[in-house]
Amino acid sequence: MDKIKIKFWHYGIVVTLLISAILGYNLFKGDKSLFLAGDASHGHYQIELECNSCHVESFSNDDLMQQACEGCHAKELDAANDKHPKKKFLDPRNAELLQQLDARYCVTCHTEHKPEITRKYGVTIAPDFCFHCHEDIAKDRPSHAPFEFDSCASSGCHNYHDNSMLYEDFLIRHAGEEATFEQATLPPRTALIRWLKKNKKVKPLSSQQHDGQKLFTTNTQSDNKGKRNSATNKDSQVNSIVSQWADSPHATTAVNCSQCHDDNNQSSPHLKFNNNQLEVCSSCHERQANQFVLGKHGMRQGLGLPLMSTADARQGIDTTQDKLLTCSSCHNPHSLDVSIAAVESCLGCHQDEHSKNYKSSIHFTLWQQEQNEELEEGSGVTCASCHLPRIKKGKRVRVMHNQNHNLRPNSKMLKTVCMNCHGVEFSLDALADEALIEKNFSGQPDSDLQTFKLIEQRIKKRQQRRNQ
């Protein structure tokens, strides 16, 4: 029998089939990671393997990509009164500007999978992009003549999209404010108080009224002498949980064990809660759940992806913990102690310099004094005070659960955070000082912002006109 001669091209066929099989499996059954064009930006890396969230169709054109961008970001831009909306560039009078920069599409400035050119805010074009349309600004405003052509977007000056905290009239109203107010406190949360007022017939539950007996059975043993042993570890754990629950807002609002836990599975009573915490919690906390999936903590859940893990995080996170991010990552579901959620839950994961320096800051000192009842409620400043701010609307004060809501640009922190305690000029100086931010605001700002110098000049000119 003749021997089969294996030629070089035979090897080529085998290798090609093998590579095709690997690629095919990764595309249709795997996570599609082999098909990534490059690393996604800090804003999108969590969902980079959910290709269809941005690429609605194969080879999507600019209009389809724009729809995908607006599907996530349009509401936020509308709320901020976007300074450069698409309609501005659809105006025929601005048609010539599109030759310089086609600002109708997000991807003109924010191109994904280009880590080598991606800068702050996910911007992928040169930092002098403002100059292309505003090259005559020195003629219109001589006060701007000394500034560098790439300095427009410096913190405290201008933002491309959200200038809501930097408008001239707003800054004029707050010119001359003291650095720190004598009465410097955060607004008290009102959600629980308002709920109790609306539900006066609801009676709080005592520790004896819990229905955990449907979920847990206590085990006791007798020794040879017939004496009952002390409670087992499980008994002790259950008693501790019941005690925490009895002192929590859940008991106050008559939320019992079985409303979160599945009482149909005696062998594993945790399943209803642990398998999909967000769904269980959102049955009462719908607003908070909807906000949670908009931030980096919960954005994967918002797209139906597996929970984000600290092991997958890119920046400043203790990856040894390998925690899954969901409601109970920050909140103990039994005690609901917001003081733990406000600090320790954050520092349990976040280990960047800004976070590690928090406990040496004046903000933490004030927080300790508040906890010790040396200062009134709201005097202390926690991680949550800034990153999960208290939003006041009329008489209502609610906690924002999208922790990215006011991060970019950081001037968005002014109204909901900084202005509770500090003047606007001091706050803008601090937010523009990156070294001070790293030190968690331990010290005084050392930035050289020209914003309020220009405002002072504008105020003087207005006064001169009035006196003429």
Instruction: Looking at the structure, tell me whether residues 50 and 86 fall in a common domain.
Output: yes
pLDDT of residue 154: 76
Instruction: Say if residue 108 is in the same domain as residue 163.
Output: no
In a domain, 77, yes or no: yes
By residue range, what is the domain housing residue 104? 45-126
Question: Quick check: is 81 in a domain?
Answer: yes
* Residues 176 and 120 both lie in one domain: no
Considering the domain architecture, whether residues 362 and 452 belong to the same structural domain is answered as yes
| Residue 60 belongs to a domain | yes
Q: Which residues of the chain have pLDDT under 50?
A: 1, 218-231, 267, 269, 271
Please report whether residue 219 resides in a domain: no
Looking at residue 1, what is its pLDDT? Answer: 47
Q: Is residue 301 part of a domain?
A: no
Q: For the chain, what is the domain count?
A: 2
User: Which residue, 126, 146, 164, sits at the end of a domain?
Assistant: 126
Q: Based on the fold, state whether residues 450 and 390 are members of the same structural domain.
A: yes
At 233 the pLDDT is 66
User: 350 - beta bridge partners?
Assistant: 317
Domain end among 126, 144, 167: 126
CA 181 to chain centre: 28
Confidence (pLDDT) at 221: 44
Distance CA(180)–CA(26), nearest Å, equals 57
Q: Are residues 166 and 122 in the same domain?
A: no
In a domain, 105, yes or no: yes
- Could you tell me if 386 and 459 lie in one domain? yes
Residue 244 lies in a domain: no
12 C-beta neighbours (distance < 10 Å), count: 10
Q: Which two tokens stand for residue 295?
A: 């931030």
pLDDT number for residue 456: 86
131 occurs within a structural domain: no
Is residue 98 located within the same domain as residue 174? no
Of 399, 396, 395, 397, the closest CA to residue 382 belongs to 399
Same domain, 111 and 174: no
**How confident is the model over 444-463, as pLDDT tens digits?**
998 778 888 888 888 888 88
Domain edge (last residue) among 126, 145, 162: 126
pLDDT tens sequence across 73-114: 999 999 888 989 989 999 998 888 888 889 999 999 999 999
Within its chain, how far is the Cα of 65 from the centroid?
24
**How much is the pLDDT for 222?**
42
- For residue 217, what pLDDT is reported? 55
- Name the pTM for this structure: 0.87
Convert the pLDDT of each residue in 307-324 to its tens digit: 999 989 988 898 887 889
